[in-house]
Amino acid sequence: MSGALVCWKCGVSLKEIPRPFARLAECGQCRAELHVCRMCEFYNPRVSEKCDEPMAEHPRELERANFCDYFKPKPGAFVARNEAKAGAAKAGLDALFGEAPKKGVSSDTNPARAKLAELFGSESKKKDPPR
């Protein structure tokens, strides 16, 4: 991975932003604040406090500017969303819970209600049992 800093939110190069980042420095492209946990080398989403620096005070909002003295900008902080992985996960859910609505099916049709009607008959065909 190269040492070039990019915005944690949009991935645009931050070579024009002076170092060290001011607390309220922003990305020129998406206006995201840069002195944030998500942009720091110590940010780790796999630990409870999301930070590998044991002495740091952990801010509540990881995507907002903070006063952390341990902040160290991380090259490659931007993580692009993997569309192929998301599509595979959706396909797996569709296979598990049934297919997505087919083309030509009205968007206001409830697929679950249609399945119930198929199983138990529609409400218009059913009559209330005699009392």
- At 77-123, the pLDDT tens digits run 888 776 677 778 888 888 888 765 555 545 456 788 888 888 887 65
Higher pLDDT, 1 or 69: 69
pLDDT in the model for residue 107? 46
- For residue 3, which phi and psi values (nearest 5 degrees)? -85, 5
Q: What is the mean pLDDT of residues 43-54?
A: 91
pLDDT attached to residue 93? 83
Structure tokens at 108: 């206001």
Contacts of 72 (CB under 8 A, 6+ apart): 40, 41, 42
Q: What is the pLDDT of residue 33?
A: 95
How far is the C-alpha of 17 from the C-alpha of 20, rounded, in Å? 9
pLDDT at 1: 44
Round to whole Å and give the CA distance between 74 and 92.
34
**What does the pLDDT average to over 23-43?**
94
How far is the C-alpha of 24 from the C-alpha of 17, rounded, in Å?
12
pTM of the entire structure? 0.60
Residue that wins the pLDDT comparison between 123 and 31 = 31
Q: By percentage, how much of the chain surpasses pLDDT 90?
A: 45
